[in-house]
Amino acid sequence: MRAAARLVARADGRGGTTLVELRGETPLLLRQVPTRRGGVTVYVVGGAAGPLAGDDLRLHIEVGAGAAVRVHTVAASVALPGRPDATSRMLVRAVVAAGAALHWLPEQLVAAAGCAHVAESRISVADGGALSWRDELVCGRYGEEPGDAVVDTVVDHGGRPLLRQSLAVGPDAPGWAGPAVLGGAPATGSLLVLDPSRPAEPPLVTAGGTVARLPLAGGPATLWTATAPDAHTLRRHLTPPEAPLATA
């Protein structure tokens, strides 16, 4: 299956945000929901199971100057096996203008047994733009080993590299569950917060070593990474501080 979706937001000239383009194809269906916090909130609704091996899914997000967008998904995404020797792909491209804000806060990606999946994110944020970007991966459904999954995230800020991060799990990634990677934890993820109105937070590692906070050199940005025994605990580690959707 091939599917594409596109979200384009612009400032409405009255201190708010309007969606000038919102379209998708199954299974990437986009739905705007009411919000009381300023900006707009959009949910990605899965119109079919998967992704299945062989699927090619693409989502493009563009947030114009002065606009603010929050994107969620209605449920976890479960990567499933499909055609033999085929890989499923989900590519998200996002462009955030100066004075704009994008909060990408989906539910988890679950790498089911036998899957072969690549999740790619390519984000460009202009100087003065704000970004919250969360990736969460659960290694297999209950009681099963995961298939092969790669989560690859690239973020540029002001035309310069801010973050290059990649994680591979599953049979084709030797050592992924070992102490140098996940240490046997079945859930892992990261949260990047780039906010020109607040400085990056100082480095911190929790006593158990399951959560780390790292300021990034390429901007007023902080990266949290975490491992956890389950998706609920992981979400607790990677919930961003409350902030209004509207930009300054």
Q: What is the pLDDT of residues 127-152, one digit of tens each?
A: 999 999 999 999 999 989 999 999 99
Confidence of residue 82 (pLDDT cuts 50, 70, 90): confident
**For residues 42 and 7, what is the distance between their CA atoms, to the nearest angstrom?**
9
Residue 41 lies in a domain: yes
220 occurs within a structural domain: no
Q: Report cis status (omega within 30 of 0) of the bond before 27.
A: yes
> Is position 173 within any domain?
yes
What's the pLDDT score for residue 244?
A: 41
Residue 69 counted as domain residue: yes
pLDDT score recorded for residue 36: 73
Alpha-carbon span 21 to 8, nearest angstrom: 5
Tokens at residue 108, please? 């988890």
Count of domains for the chain: 1
> What is the rounded distance in angstroms from the CA atom of residue 137 to the CA atom of residue 153?
13
User: What pLDDT, in 10s, does the model give residues 156-170?
Assistant: 999 999 999 999 999
pLDDT value at residue 242: 56
Domain that holds residue 125: 2-187
Rounded Cα distance, 69 and 93, in Å: 14
Tell me how many helices (H) and strands (E) the chain has. Answer: 1, 18
**Tokens coding 197:** 């109105």
Structural domain contains residue 7: yes
152 in any annotated domain: yes
What does the CA dihedral 204, 153, 162, 64 come to, rounded to 10 degrees?
-120
> Cα–Cα distance between 183 and 177 in angstroms, integer?
5
Q: Which two tokens stand for residue 2?
A: 């091939």
Whole-angstrom distance, CA of residue 66 vs CA of residue 126: 12
What is the distance between the alpha carbons of residues 214 and 201, in angstroms, rounded to a whole number?
7
CA distance 29 to 179: 39
The residue-averaged pLDDT of 87-113 equals: 97
CB burial readout 35-48, b (16+ within 10 A) else e: eeeebbbbbbebee
Asked whether residue 214 is assigned to any structural domain, the reply reads no
State the average pLDDT over residues 98-123: 97
* Residue 195: inside a domain: no
pTM exceeds cut of 0.85: yes
Q: How far apart are alpha carbons 125 and 195 in whole angstroms?
A: 11
